[in-house]
């Protein structure tokens, strides 16, 4: 093997190895890309958050339209909390703020921390469902045996597509005690 060829091979190796390393980075880059993509398209049932002071400027209440909002609560595998909505559904006008709450009780003998994660169905309605206040914004600590009424204030965007008459808001509560302790 001539040294010229050897050098050429080493250079080619370095170039291609760089591509491989870049692709490893690209794998990680997919994570923020995925979030941005979901945010732009409103996919994934992710709900929005909005400041209550901005509402008057942005939305006109649409009193002619009624949308049903249903509430569902789930527990992640192994999460022992008693968790559920205080009302199962509400009739709301888009553009108007409503308040409701979810109840949670920690039936175990030790203090725990929970995190609720929301999801809206149908998928395309997620971006039109905005919350001004939600227990899901923060981790929720519950002492042993404690129960809590956790408030939720939300507003449905009047631009919600006309064919959507029912929205389902589902919360899944996860046990994050371990994570919160660290």
Partner 1 sequence: MSTATATHDDHHDHGPAKGLMRWVTTTNHKDIGTLYLLFALVMFFIGGAMAMVIRAELFQPGMQVVDPQFFNSMTTVHALVMIFGAVMPAFTGLANWLIPMMIGAPDMALPRMNNFSFWILPFAFSLLLSTFFMNGGGPAGGWTIYPPLSLQMGDGFPFMIFAIHLAGISSIMGSINIVVTILNMRAPGMTLMKMPLFVWTWLITAYLLIATMPVLAGAVTMLLTDKFAGTSFFSAAGGGDPVMYQHIFWFFGHPEVYILILPAFGIVSAIVPTFARKPLFGYSSMVYATASIAFLSFIVWAHHMFTVGMPVVGELFFMYATMMIAVPTGVKVFNWVSTMWKGSMTFETPMLFAVGFIIMFTIGGFSGLMLAIAPADFQYHDTYFVVAHFHYVLVTGAVYSIMAAAYYWLPKWTGNMYDEKLGQMHFWISTVSVNVLFFPQHFLGLAGMPRRIPDYSVQFTDWNMISSIGGFVFGVSQLMFAYVVYKTIRGGEKATDQVWEGAHGLEWTLPSPPPYHSFTEAPEVK
x-or-dash pattern for partner 1, window 111-130, by CB under 8 A? ----x-x-----xx------
3-class SS letters over 63-108: CCCCEEEEEEEEECCCCCCEEEECCCEEEECCCCEEEEEEEEECCC
Local structure of residue 138 (DSSP, 8 states): S
Least distance in angstroms from the C-beta of 24 to partner 1: 4
Q: Check binding of 27 to partner 1 (CB under 8 A).
A: yes
Exposure string of 56-88, with b = 16+ CB inside 10 Å and e = fewer, is: eeebeebeeeebebebebebeeebebebbbeee
Other Cβ atoms within 10 Å of 115 Cβ, number: 19
> Nearer to partner 1 by C-beta: 22 or 99?
22
Alpha carbons 82 and 179: distance in angstroms, whole number: 21
x-or-dash pattern for partner 1, window 78-117, by CB under 8 A? -------------------------------------x-x
> Nearer to partner 1 by C-beta: 49 or 58?
49
Alpha carbons 170 and 55: distance in angstroms, whole number: 24
Q: Which of 3, 31, 57, 64 binds partner 1 (CB under 8 A)?
A: 31
Q: Which of 28, 109, 161, 163 binds partner 1 (CB under 8 A)?
A: 28
Q: Check binding of 181 to partner 1 (CB under 8 A).
A: no
Q: Which of 70, 100, 101, 172 binds partner 1 (CB under 8 A)?
A: 172
**Per DSSP, which regions of the chain are E strands?**
48-49, 67-75, 82-85, 89-92, 97-105, 112-121, 129-134, 140-142, 147-156, 166-175
> Nearer to partner 1 by C-beta: 132 or 172?
172
Q: Check binding of 57 to partner 1 (CB under 8 A).
A: no
Alpha carbons 157 and 173: distance in angstroms, whole number: 25
x-or-dash pattern for partner 1, window 5-24, by CB under 8 A? x--xx--xx--xx-xxxxxx
Binding site for partner 1 (CB under 8 A): 1, 5, 8-9, 12-13, 16-17, 19-28, 30-31, 34, 38, 41, 43-44, 76-77, 115, 117, 123-124, 172, 174-176, 179, 182
């Amino acid at each position: 093997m001539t040294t010229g060829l050897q050098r050429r091979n080493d250079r080619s190796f370095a170039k291609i190895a760089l591509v491989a390393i870049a692709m490893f980075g690209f794998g990680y880059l997919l994570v923020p890309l995925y979030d941005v993509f979901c945010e732009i398209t409103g996919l994934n049932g992710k709900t929005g958050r909005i400041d209550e002071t901005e509402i008057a400027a942005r939305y006109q209440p649409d009193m002619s339209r009624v949308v049903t909002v249903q509430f569902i609560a789930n527990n992640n595998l192994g999460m022992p909390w008693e968790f559920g909505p205080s009302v199962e559904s509400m009739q709301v006008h888009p553009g108007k703020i409503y308040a409701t709450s979810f109840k949670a009780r920690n039936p175990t003998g030790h203090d725990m921390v929970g995190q609720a994660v929301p999801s809206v169905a149908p998928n395309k309605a997620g971006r039109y469902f905005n919350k001004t206040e939600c227990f899901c914004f923060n981790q929720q600590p519950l002492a042993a045996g404690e129960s809590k009424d956790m408030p939720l204030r939300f507003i449905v965007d009047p631009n919600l597509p006309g064919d959507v008459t029912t929205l389902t808001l589902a919360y899944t509560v996860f046990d994050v005690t371990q994570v919160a302790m660290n």
